[in-house]
Chain A
Amino acid sequence: MAKKSVNKFVLLPLFLGSVCLISGGIIAGVNSFTEPVIEQRIIDQQNAGYYKVLEIESADAPTDLTPSAALAAKGVTSKKEFKSGSTKIGFVYDVTVSGYGGKIMFQVGFKDGKFSGFNVISHSETPSFGGVVIPKVDERIKNQDASSNVLDLLNGTDNLTAGKTVTGNALVAGLSACANDYLTEVA
C-alpha cells in the first residue's frame, strides 16, 4: 500500500512533467520558425509607417538618434530624424508601452511643431474596452500642436475616457514623452 502511494507520489508528477516538457518542445519548435516571420513583418510595417506618419512619399535615409535613458524608460525604442537634402522634414519615434493585454507598439511622427501622424504596429487590447481609443488616436492628434495636452486631445469632445483605462494611460504617457522630447529637439 505504502509502496503504491509512493509510486503515485513520484510517477504522477513525472508524467505531468513529461507532458509539459513535450509541450514546451513543440512550442519552442513552432516559435523557431514563426518568430522570424513575425519580426520581419514588424520591421516592414515600421518601415512603411515612417512615411505614413510623416505623410511623405520619400526622403533621404533617416538618421538614427539614440533615445535618452529617460525616453527609453518611457518605452521609446528608436528615434529617427528625416531630411530631404538639407531640409529637415521631421521626427518619428517607435514606442512600445505596456497596455492591459500586453505590449502596444506604435509610431508617432512630428513635423512643423505638430503631431503629423500615429500608426499602431501591434496590440492585444480588448477592442471594445481599452482598445476603443487606439483606432481614433491618429485622427485626434494629427495636425495638433505638439505642446497640446495629449489626454485632452485623445478624449476629444465625446470623452473617450482615455485617461480611465490602462490602454489609454499607456498611450498618453508614451505620446507625451515623445512630444516633450520633440519640443526639446526643435527648441
Chain B
Amino acid sequence: MKKNRIILDGAFKNNSTFILLLGLCPVLATTSGVSSALGMGLAMLAVIIVSNVVVSLIRHLIPNEIRIPVMIVIIATIVTVVEMLMKAYLPDLAANLGVYLSIIVVNCVIFARAESFALKNGVFDSFLDAIGTGLGFILSVLLLALAREVVGTGAVDFKSFINGESLFLLRIFPEQYAISIFVENSGAFIMLGLLIALITYLVPTISTWNENRAKLKAQKALTTNIETEAK
C-alpha cells in the first residue's frame, strides 16, 4: 500500500467520526468550543501514535491469546502518562477536558487501529496510520466544534492552552441570533447528525462527479486519438 494512501484512508475514507462512527462519546462531549476540541484532538493524536508504534514494535512478542489485555494495558499507560503531563503543564486544558481525557483509554478508535492495523503491519506503516486516523479525528472534532460554536454563540473564541484565557474572539454574527442549544449536549447530537447527513450526501455526489469527469477525460482523449489517426 502506498504510504500517502495509508494517511488519506485513515483521515478521510475511514474517518472514525463521520464514516465509521467510532468513539463518539468524547467527540460529542468536548466539541462545545474549538479550543477544547483541538486539545482533545491533539491528546488523541499523541495517544494513538504512541499506541500504534508500541503495539507494532512488540507485535511479534505478544501472544495471540492475551493480545487484548496487553493492548489495553499499553493504551491505559499511554493515556495515564498524557493525562499526568497535561495536568502538570497544561492544567487549564486538562480541567476543560475533565473526565473525557481519562476515557480516551476506552476509545474504540485507538483500540481498533491497534488491533486491525498495528498488530499486522510494520512500525512505519503503523505510525502513518496513526497520523492519518489522528488527523482525521482532529479534523472531525474541529469541524463539529466550529459548527456548534458558530451556530450556538455566533462567534469563535480562540483560547490559550496554557492558561485558558481568550486570545481573540472572531464574531461571525450578533449574539442575539445564536441558537444556544448547539453548545449544549443535546445540540452536539443534532449537529453531528446534520454533519453526517451532509457528508453522506456529499461523498457519493463527489465520487460520481469525479467518475464522470474521468469518463469525459477518457472520451476526449479517445476522440483526439481518433482525429489524429484520421489526419
Contact = CB atoms under 8 A, between A and B. Distances in A.
B99 A126 contact: yes
Interface centre among A12, A30, A101, A126 (most CB of B within 10 A): A30
Interface string A1-34: 0000000100110011001100100110011001
Given A30-B84, A38-B87, A126-B98, A23 B73 contact: yes
Interface in B18-72: 61-63, 65-66, 69-70
Nearest to A131: B98
A101 B98 contact: yes
B115 interface: no
B74 interface: yes
Interface residues of A, number: 24
Contact of A12 (B65, B84, B88, B99): B65
Interface stretch (B3-11, B75-83, B134-142, B221-229): B75-83
A37 interface: yes
A122 B70 CA distance: 32
Contacts of A23: 73-74, 76-77
B89 interface: yes
Contact of B88 (A11, A38, A101): A38
What DSSP secondary structure best describes chain B's contact surface? helix
A121 B81 CA distance: 22
Contacts of B73: 16, 19-20, 23
Interface band, chain B: 20 to 34
A125 interface: yes
Contacts of B77: 23, 26-27
B74 A19 contact: yes
A128 interface: yes
Contacts of B63: 8, 11-12, 15
Contacts of A37: 88-89
Contacts of B87: 34, 38
A124 interface: yes
Contacts of A20: 73
B66 A124 contact: no
A81 to B, nearest CB: 29
A127 interface: yes
B81 A26 contact: yes
A124 B98 contact: yes
Nearest to B82: A30
Nearest to A34: B88
A136 interface: no
A34 B65 contact: no
A80 to B, nearest CB: 24
Contact of B91 (A16, A30, A41): A41
A34 B95 CA distance: 16
14 contacts: A8-B63, A15-B61, A15-B66, A16-B66, A16-B73, A19-B73, A23-B73, A26-B77, A27-B81, A30-B80, A34-B88, A41-B91, A125-B98, A128-B185
Report the 8 A-B pairs with minimum CB-CB distance, sorted nearest first. A34-B88, A23-B77, A37-B88, A34-B84, A30-B81, A12-B66, A30-B84, A19-B73
